[in-house]
C-alpha cells in the first residue's frame, strides 16, 4: 500500500467520527430543547425553525388553531425562523398595543415589506407622518355629507342590481354563488365611490373582469408571504407565486393609473371652466383636488396607493361580512323572522311618514315584484336605516364571530412588557386576533360560541361594546374610518334581501374560510333563492 493510501485510510475513520459526533450533538440539542418544553402549553417549537412546522401544517385552519391555544393561554408566543409572533386576545393587552403604547406598535417594516406590492404606502400600510397625513384627510372626507349622500345613492343602486339578478335566479330556479355576487356588487360600488367609474362586474351576464381577478390573486399571494420563507427568493427569480403576483399587479396598476389619468383631466377641465356642478364626489376626485396644493406632494403613485387601500377596505371586508351574515341568518330561522318583522314595520312606518301608498305586488309576476322592491329601496334613506337596531345587531354579531380581518399584526419598535406580563422583543410582531377574541368565554361569557344578536340590544336599542373587546373595526388611533359607511351598505343590502327573499344552502355545500387577509369563504356560498310573498 502506498503512503498516500495509508494516510487516507487513517483519515476516513476520523471523518466518520466527526460526522457521528456532529449528529450526536445536534440530536442532543433537539432532545434537550424538546425536553425543556415537555410541560409547556403552546405550539411545538424546534431549534432554528421555531413553530414553523406546526404553523405550516395548520395553515389552512390557522384561525381555529389559534383559538385552541388562546382559549387556554390568552397570549400565545410563536417563534418563527426570522421573527417571533405574539398573539393576544385579552382586551387589556389589546388596549395596550392599539392605544396606550400605540407608538411602539406600528405596522412595521416586516408587514410593510410583505404588503407593499399591493398596498404601497397607502393608509393601511403606512406609519408615522405619512399615515397621519392620510388619516387626517380621510377622516375629513368620510365626515363629509356629500360623500355620505353619494354613497347612499350608490349603495342603493347596486343593491337593486343585485336584487334584479336574484329575482331572475328565483324565477328560473337557478343556483347562485352569493359570495361571488356580493364581491361583484361591492367592487362595483367601491369603484364608483372610490374611483367614480362603472366597471360593470354585476351586469346580468356576470362578465369576467381582469382587475377583479387580479386583485383577488394578489390578495391571496401576499397573505401567503407571511409563512413562506422563500418568497423573496421567488420574487428575485420571478418564479412560482411571485411570478403570478407580478402579472396580477401589472393588471391592477394598468387599470388604476388609466383611471387616475382620466380623472385628473376631468378635474382639471372642471376647475378651468369653473363648473363646480361637474365636480364629482368620489374619493379619488377629492384627493386629486387636494393634490393641487403644492405642499401636498401627491403623485400618481400616491393616488394609486390611496385608492387601492380604500378598495381592499371597502370591497372585500363588506362582501365577506355580508356573506357570513346571510349564512348565519339562513341557518337561524328565528333570527330571519325577527329581521323580516323589523323590516315590515319600517316599511309601513316610512310609507306613512312620507305619505306613500305601498304598491300591491304579485310574487309570481317579475315586473310587479321588482317594482315593489324598488319602492322599498327608495324608503331606505340614511335616517331610516339608522332605525334598524335588530339588523344592526345581527351584522355586529356576525362580525364578532366572523370578523372581516381575522388577524392584525403590528411591529414592535422597542422591547416592551404587556399588561399580563408577557415580554415582547424589538423586531418581533404582536398580533391581536379578532376571530379568536369573539370566541373566548373570558371575553363574552359561557354563550360566546352562540350566534346571539340580542347580546347587543338593551330595551330594543343597539348598544356598543368596548372596541378593545370587539375589535372588528380596530381601536385606538387607527380605528376604522369607514365603519359607518360599511354599516350603511350592509344594512341597505340586507334590508332588501331579507325583506323579499329566502335562501337555502345547496345540499352538501361546504362552508369554510380561506386563508387570506380577509375572512372569505373558500368555496363561495352556493344558495337557492325564493321570493317572499
CA angle at 366 for the pair 363 and 368, rounded to the nearest 5°: 70
Q: Could you tell me which residues come within 8 angstroms of residue 370 by beta carbon, excluding any fewer than 6 positions away? A: 163, 164, 167
> Which is nearest to 176 in space by CA: 214, 137, 202?
202
- Distance, in Å, from the CA atom of 227 to the CA atom of 229, rounded to the nearest integer, reads 6
Please indicate if the annotation marks 480 as binding a ligand.
yes
Cell of 472: 372588528
Are 189 and 154 contacting, i.e. CB atoms less than 8 angstroms apart? yes
Taking the C-alpha atoms of residue 64 and residue 46, their distance in angstroms, rounded to an integer, is 22
Residue with cell 394598468: 254
Q: Which strands, in side-by-side order, build the sheet including 526-531?
A: 176-177, 526-531, 501-505
Q: What dihedral angle (degrees, nearest 10) is formed by the CA atoms of 514, 520, 523, 524?
A: 180
Angle between helices 108-119 and 210-224 (to 10 degrees): 160
Bridge partners of residue 502, in order along the sequence: 530
Half-sphere exposure of 470 (CA within 13 A, CB side): 16
Helix axes 389-401, 317-330, angle to 10 degrees: 100
Q: Return the C-alpha cell found at 393.
A: 345587531
Q: Give the residue ranges of the annotated binding site.
A: 480
Q: Give the residue ranges of the annotated binding site for heme.
A: 480
Amino acid at each position: 500500500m502506498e503512503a498516500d493510501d495509508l494516510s487516507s485510510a487513517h483519515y476516513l475513520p476520523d471523518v466518520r467520527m466527526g460526522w457521528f459526533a456532529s449528529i450526536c450533538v445536534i440530536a442532543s440539542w433537539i432532545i434537550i430543547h424538546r425536553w425543556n418544553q415537555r410541560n409547556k402549553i403552546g405550539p411545538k417549537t424546534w431549534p432554528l425553525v421555531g413553530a414553523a412546522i406546526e404553523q405550516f401544517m395548520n395553515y389552512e385552519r390557522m384561525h381555529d388553531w389559534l383559538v385552541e391555544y388562546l382559549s387556554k393561554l390568552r397570549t400565545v408566543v410563536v417563534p418563527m425562523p426570522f421573527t417571533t409572533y405574539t398573539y393576544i386576545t385579552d382586551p387589556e393587552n389589546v388596549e395596550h398595543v392599539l392605544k396606550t403604547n400605540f407608538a411602539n406598535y406600528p405596522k412595521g417594516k416586516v408587514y410593510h415589506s410583505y404588503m407593499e406590492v399591493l398596498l404601497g404606502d397607502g393608509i393601511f400600510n403606512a406609519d408615522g407622518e405619512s399615515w397621519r397625513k392620510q388619516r387626517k384627510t380621510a377622516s375629513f372626507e368620510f365626515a363629509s355629507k356629500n360623500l355620505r349622500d353619494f354613497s347612499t345613492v350608490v349603495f342603493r343602486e347596486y343593491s337593486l342590481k343585485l336584487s334584479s339578478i336574484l329575482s331572475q335566479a328565483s324565477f328560473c330556479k337557478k343556483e347562485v354563488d352569493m359570495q361571488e355576487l356580493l364581491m361583484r356588487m361591492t367592487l362595483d360600488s367601491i369603484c364608483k365611490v372610490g374611483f367614480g367609474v362603472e366597471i360593470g362586474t354585476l351586469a346580468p351576464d356576470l362578465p369576467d373582469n381582469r382587475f377583479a381577478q387580479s386583485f383577488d390573486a394578489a390578495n391571496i399571494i401576499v397573505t401567503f408571504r407571511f409563512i413562506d420563507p422563500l418568497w423573496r427568493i421567488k420574487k428575485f427569480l420571478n418564479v412560482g407565486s411571485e411570478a403570478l403576483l407580478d402579472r396580477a399587479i401589472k393588471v391592477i396598476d394598468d387599470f388604476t393609473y388609466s383611471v387616475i389619468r382620466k380623472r385628473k383631466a376631468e378635474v382639471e377641465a372642471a376647475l378651468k371652466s369653473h363648473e363646480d356642478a361637474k365636480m364629482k364626489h368620489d374619493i379619488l376626485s377629492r384627493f386629486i383636488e387636494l393634490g393641487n396644493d403644492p405642499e401636498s406632494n401627491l403623485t400618481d403613485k400616491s393616488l394609486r396607493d390611496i385608492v387601492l387601500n380604500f378598495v381592499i377596505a371597502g370591497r372585500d371586508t363588506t362582501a365577506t361580512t355580508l356573506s357570513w351574515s346571510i349564512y348565519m341568518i339562513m341557518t337561524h330561522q328565528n333570527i330571519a323572522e325577527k329581521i323580516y318583522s323589523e323590516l315590515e314595520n319600517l316599511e309601513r312606518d316610512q310609507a306613512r311618514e312620507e305619505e306613500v301608498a305601498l304598491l300591491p305586488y304579485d310574487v309570481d309576476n317579475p315586473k310587479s315584484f321588482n317594482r315593489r322592491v324598488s319602492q322599498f329601496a327608495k324608503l331606505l334613506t340614511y335616517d331610516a336605516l339608522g332605525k334598524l337596531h335588530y339588523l344592526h345587531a345581527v351584522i355586529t354579531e356576525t362580525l364578532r364571530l366572523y370578523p372581516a380581518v381575522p388577524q392584525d399584526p403590528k411591529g414592535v419598535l422597542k422591547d416592551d412588557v404587556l399588561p399580563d406580563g408577557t415580554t415582547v422583543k424589538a423586531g418581533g410582531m404582536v398580533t391581536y386576533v379578532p376571530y379568536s377574541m369573539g370566541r373566548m368565554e373570558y371575553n363574552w361569557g359561557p354563550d360566546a360560541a352562540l350566534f346571539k344578536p340580542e347580546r347587543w340590544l338593551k330595551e330594543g336599542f343597539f348598544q356598543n361594546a368596548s372596541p378593545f373587546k370587539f375589535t372588528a373595526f380596530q381601536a385606538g388611533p387607527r380605528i376604522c374610518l369607514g365603519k359607518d359607511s360599511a354599516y350603511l351598505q350592509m344594512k341597505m343590502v340586507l334590508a332588501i334581501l331579507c325583506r323579499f327573499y329566502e335562501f337555502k344552502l345547496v345540499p352538501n355545500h361546504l362552508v369554510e374560510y380561506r386563508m387570506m387577509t380577509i375572512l372569505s369563504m373558500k368555496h363561495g356560498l352556493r344558495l337557492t333563492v325564493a321570493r317572499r310573498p
